């Protein structure tokens, strides 16, 4: 009667989900970065200005000539008008309201709009800036002189403000000049001081006021020049160079260290090679679609605001994975011998090929459960075959290799590889619990949704049976070719229970072994697995080990067998827990256990909420019923198309509310968007402010596909 506390045996059942609330897959804005290629380069030209006209033609002014955009993000010298091809503008601008481009040369100004009727000769070398209002008044300004024209006719010679002019502006037909100390308005033939300030750098104009950028933040004034707000200096980079107000009222800022956009309750920061060829932004412009063009001293960059749906993003990643990320059925992150160049991709082995592939395999399982597409089922079996070969490529009984490769072509961790009994192959040892939980997750999903025929059911059962038999035959260890337990493949009670209750390894390893024994019993119907499960839960205390709250976990350095076994908890533990929760819950042997498991999952889900992880939310919802729907939407929409590795830095930002150092490594009160952080998997801390690498690898996107198809299966996300 030692099992009496768990009541009766219950065969696992699987529900058809009906969500209490659903998200529609409505179009949203997907931000995508592009770097313009300049065939032949700019030479020694100095880049000065970027202007977008009303046709959305992008013009880049340099001191050696004018460049314009061409398809596929190409930039080249502008030879559109042969009569102007060999001429070098001093300045360019667009007319207020119409967006027609005007050119200032050293001896004339002109436009090709208005049938070319505006073409006015000038005394050479006098003017370096041009501004044109909606009434076709043209203001020219140099260091010492200025002039106002009505179309081709000069109507006034003007003085210039006493300080150096930073820029000219036009708003509602009115010309303004900005210096570091004052905003001047042209009234008649004289410049009148409209507003005095300090360290001013740029202006933008709204319907009822003006935003003033400075070297230490920005503030607002009304149209008469009266200050109406305090200075906002809690910005990613307070030293503003330029500001831009787009047609859809987005306020953008450029700095010497990136650009940023004002959002409802925060600033979104654009820096690193994900968005910019270099971080110094010298000018900005926007087109009619709200796309932003950021000019640096060395190139032009675009932030495209692409209308997108989650279904379209899904197709993008599914196609990319099949073409560029498959290795023997595993989904891998290629290395890039040529930094940032996808054409140099080499698909290589990784430490946890099985773990990373479980995300893709799982996504295709749920895809099949939702759509019934036979191609998804094919992809599942292809990857599962790679999982099966992990057991047969080595000479050990039931021991799963980390991965395998043809002899002589391994890349990572050369000391972990062993020669296979299969001629011409090698396999990687030291398999860890990271891999083990992938096997449980994959097998449970295969059993639920894919394996229908008796031979298919047996195939999945045999896979788990072999692994769990190895663990039981080897005293609850993964035992490698050297006859010793692997460092992280340990579920023996001597090992598990030496951890204090507040160290997560004790809780997690107990959950892992119980989940595996439950699953093995359900798949094979071998009573020995059920007996063993209740033994470890009752006699070894694993049930009690599973119960402590995540809020009680603490940092605690643990030594074992001469090795440091971590500091108590990390984000890999979260990943290993949440993937295990699915088989733990669905293969519970009775209702009482299932309720305990639900409580464990809910406790973990609550502490994870600041990370806004869609997958953790959906795994919690699919089991315990807990979800933050808005975080699921946010995560899926913000997940970037560009999964390249970039070096990013956020620790210098002045807009972030930093937290005191804490056990979970949460650095800021609010999580940054994926587009501001380094690319990482679910086993990394999303609150890390700095990190990444220089374009030497690219992730597959499978960590988007799994929550997407889970959301579809759980009816959290409506079909497109």
Q: Are 646 and 675 in contact (CB under 8 A)?
A: no
Residue 20 is predicted with a pLDDT of 59
Q: How far is the C-alpha of 37 from the C-alpha of 51, rounded, in Å?
A: 17
Q: How far is the C-alpha of 385 from the C-alpha of 379, rounded, in Å?
A: 10
Residue 19 is predicted with a pLDDT of 57
The average pLDDT across 283-294 equals 97
Give tens-digit pLDDT for 570-616.
899 999 999 999 999 999 999 999 999 999 999 999 999 999 999 99
Q: Are 562 and 423 in contact (CB under 8 A)?
A: no
DSSP string, 176-216: EEE-SSEEEEEETTEEEEEEE-SSEEEEEE-SSEEEEEETT
For CA atoms 559, 564, 569, 572, give the dihedral sign. negative
Residue 561 is predicted with a pLDDT of 80
Residue 16 is predicted with a pLDDT of 45
Residue 13 is predicted with a pLDDT of 39
Percentage of residues in the chain having pLDDT higher than 90:
93
- For 140, 333, 473, 674, 702, the CA distances from 357, given in Å and listed in that order, are 63, 10, 27, 21, 8
Backbone angles phi, psi at 18, to 5 degrees: -135, 105
The average pLDDT across 235-253 equals 97
Q: How far is the C-alpha of 124 from the C-alpha of 138, rounded, in Å?
A: 17
Q: Is the pLDDT of residue 14 over 50?
A: no
Please choose, from the candidates 504, 501, 502, 505, the residue with its C-alpha nearest in 3D space to the C-alpha of residue 491: 505
Residue 21 is predicted with a pLDDT of 74
Give tens-digit pLDDT for 422-450.
999 999 999 999 999 999 999 999 999 99
Within 10 angstroms of residue 72's Cβ, the number of other Cβ atoms is 8
Q: How far is the C-alpha of 713 from the C-alpha of 289, rounded, in Å?
A: 34
Q: Is the pLDDT of residue 341 over 80?
A: yes
The average pLDDT across 517-546 equals 98
Residue 327 is predicted with a pLDDT of 97
Mean pLDDT of the chain: 95
Residue 702 is predicted with a pLDDT of 96
Please choose, from the candidates 360, 365, 304, the residue with its C-alpha nearest in 3D space to the C-alpha of residue 622: 365
Give tens-digit pLDDT for 624-681.
999 999 999 999 999 999 999 999 999 999 999 999 999 889 999 999 999 999 999 9
Q: How far is the C-alpha of 585 from the C-alpha of 620, rounded, in Å?
A: 10
Q: Is the pLDDT of residue 567 over 80?
A: no
Q: How far is the C-alpha of 443 from the C-alpha of 460, rounded, in Å?
A: 6
Point out the least confidently predicted range of 15-19, 126-130, 154-158, 711-715.
15-19
DSSP string, 376-399: HHHHHHHHHHHHHHHHHSSSSSSP
Q: Are 464 and 440 in contact (CB under 8 A)?
A: yes
Q: How far is the C-alpha of 60 from the C-alpha of 242, rounded, in Å?
A: 16
Residue 698 is predicted with a pLDDT of 96
Residue 8 is predicted with a pLDDT of 27
DSSP string, 634-701: HHHHHS-S--B---B--TT-SS--BPPP-TT---BSSPPPGGGS----TTS-TT--SB--SS-BB--S
The average pLDDT across 310-336 equals 97
DSSP element (H, E) containing 494 = helix 493-496
Q: Is the pLDDT of residue 96 over 60?
A: yes
Give the predicted TM-score (pTM) of the model: 0.94
- 440 SS3 class: helix
Q: Are 257 and 266 in contact (CB under 8 A)?
A: no
Distance in Å from the first CA to the final CA of the chain: 53
Q: How far is the C-alpha of 420 from the C-alpha of 61, rounded, in Å?
A: 62
Residue 17 is predicted with a pLDDT of 53
DSSP element (H, E) containing 369 = helix 353-371
The average pLDDT across 261-284 equals 97
Point out the least confidently predicted range of 5-14, 109-118, 240-249, 704-713.
5-14
Q: Is the pLDDT of residue 568 over 70?
A: no
Q: What is the DSSP letter of 446?
A: I
The average pLDDT across 356-381 equals 98
Q: Which residue's structure tokens are 């210098």?
A: 652
Give tens-digit pLDDT for 127-165.
999 999 999 999 999 999 999 999 999 999 999 999 999
Question: Which residues are CB-contacts of 66 (< 8 A; sequence separation ≥ 6)?
Answer: 59, 60, 77, 78, 84, 88, 89, 92, 103
């Amino acid at each position: 009667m030692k099992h009496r506390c768990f009541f009766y045996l219950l065969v696992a059942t699987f529900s058809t989900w009906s969500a209490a609330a659903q998200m529609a897959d409505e179009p949203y804005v997907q931000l995508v970065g592009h770097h313009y290629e300049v065939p032949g380069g700019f030479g020694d030209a100095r880049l000065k200005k970027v202007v977008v006209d009303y046709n959305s033609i992008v013009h880049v002014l340099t001191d050696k000539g004018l460049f314009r955009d061409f398809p596929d993000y190409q930039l080249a010298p502008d030879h559109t008008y042969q009569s102007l091809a060999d001429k070098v503008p001093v300045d360019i601008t667009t007319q207020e309201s119409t967006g027609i481009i005007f050119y200032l040369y050293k001896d004339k100004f002109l436009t090709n709009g208005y049938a070319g009727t505006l073409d006015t000769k000038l005394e050479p070398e006098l003017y370096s800036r041009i501004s044109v209002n909606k009434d076709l008044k043209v203001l020219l300004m140099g260091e010492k002189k200025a002039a106002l024209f009505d179309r081709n006719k000069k109507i006034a010679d003007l003085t210039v403000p006493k300080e150096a002019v930073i820029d000219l502006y036009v708003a509602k037909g009115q010309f303004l000049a900005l210096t570091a100390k004052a905003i001047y308005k042209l009234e008649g033939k004289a410049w009148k001081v409209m507003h005095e300030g300090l360290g001013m750098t740029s202006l933008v104009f709204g319907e009822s006021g003006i935003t003033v950028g400075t070297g230490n933040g920005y503030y607002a004034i009304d149209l008469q020049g009266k200050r109406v707000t305090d200075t906002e200096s809690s910005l990613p980079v307070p030293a503003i160079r330029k500001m831009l107000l787009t047609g859809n009222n987005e306020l953008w800022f450029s700095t010497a260290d990136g650009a940023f956009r004002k959002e409802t309750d925060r600033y979104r920061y654009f820096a690193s090679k994900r968005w910019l060829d270099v971080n110094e932004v010298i000018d900005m412009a926007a087109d009619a679609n709200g796309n932003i063009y950021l000019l640096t001293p060395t190139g032009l960059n675009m932030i495209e605001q692409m209308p997108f749906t989650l279904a379209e993003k899904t197709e993008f990643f599914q196609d990319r994975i099949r073409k560029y990320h498959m290795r023997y059925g595993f989904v891998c992150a290629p290395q890039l011998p040529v930094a940032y160049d996808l054409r140099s991709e080499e698909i290589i082995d990784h430490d946890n090929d099985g773990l990373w592939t479980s995300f893709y395999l799982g996504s295709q399982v749920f895809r099949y459960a939702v759509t019934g597409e036979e191609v998804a089922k094919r992809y599942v079996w292809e990857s599962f075959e790679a999982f099966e070969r992990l057991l047969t490529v080595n000479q050990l009984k039931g021991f799963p290799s980390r991965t395998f490769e043809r002899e002589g072509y391994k890349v990572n961790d050369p000391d972990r590889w062993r020669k296979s009994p299969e001629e011409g192959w090698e396999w990687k040892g030291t398999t860890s619990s990271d891999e083990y939980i992938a096997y449980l997750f994959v097998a449970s999903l295969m059993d639920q949704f894919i394996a229908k025929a008796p031979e298919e059911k047996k195939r999945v059962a045999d896979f788990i049976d072999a692994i769990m038999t190895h663990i039981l035959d080897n005293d609850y260890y993964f035992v490698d070719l050297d006859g010793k337990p692997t460092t992280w493949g340990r579920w023996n009670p001597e090992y598990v229970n030496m951890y204090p209750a507040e160290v997560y390894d004790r809780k997690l390893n107990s959950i892992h072994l119980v989940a595996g024994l439950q699953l093995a019993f359900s798949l094979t119907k071998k009573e020995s697995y059920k007996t063993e499960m209740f033994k470890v839960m009752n006699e070894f205390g694993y049930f009690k080990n599973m119960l402590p709250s995540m809020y009680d976990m603490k940092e605690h350095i643990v030594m074992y067998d001469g090795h440091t076994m971590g500091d108590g908890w990390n984000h890999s533990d979260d990943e290993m827990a949440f993937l295990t929760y699915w088989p733990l819950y669905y293969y519970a042997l009775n209702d009482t256990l299932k309720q305990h498991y639900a409580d464990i999952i809910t406790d973990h889900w609550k502490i994870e909420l600041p990370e806004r992880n869609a997958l953790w939310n959906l795994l919690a919802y699919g089991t315990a019923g807990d979800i933050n729907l808005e975080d699921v939407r946010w995560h899926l929409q913000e997940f970037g198309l560009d999964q390249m590795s970039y070096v990013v830095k956020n620790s210098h930002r002045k807009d972030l509310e930093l937290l005191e150092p804490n056990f979970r490594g949460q650095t800021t009160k609010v999580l940054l968007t994926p587009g501001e952080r380094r690319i990482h998997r679910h086993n990394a801390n999303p609150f890390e402010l700095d990190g990444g690498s220089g374009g030497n690898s690219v992730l597959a996107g499978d960590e988007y596909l799994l929550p997407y198809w889970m959301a579809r299966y759980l009816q959290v996300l409506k079909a497109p």
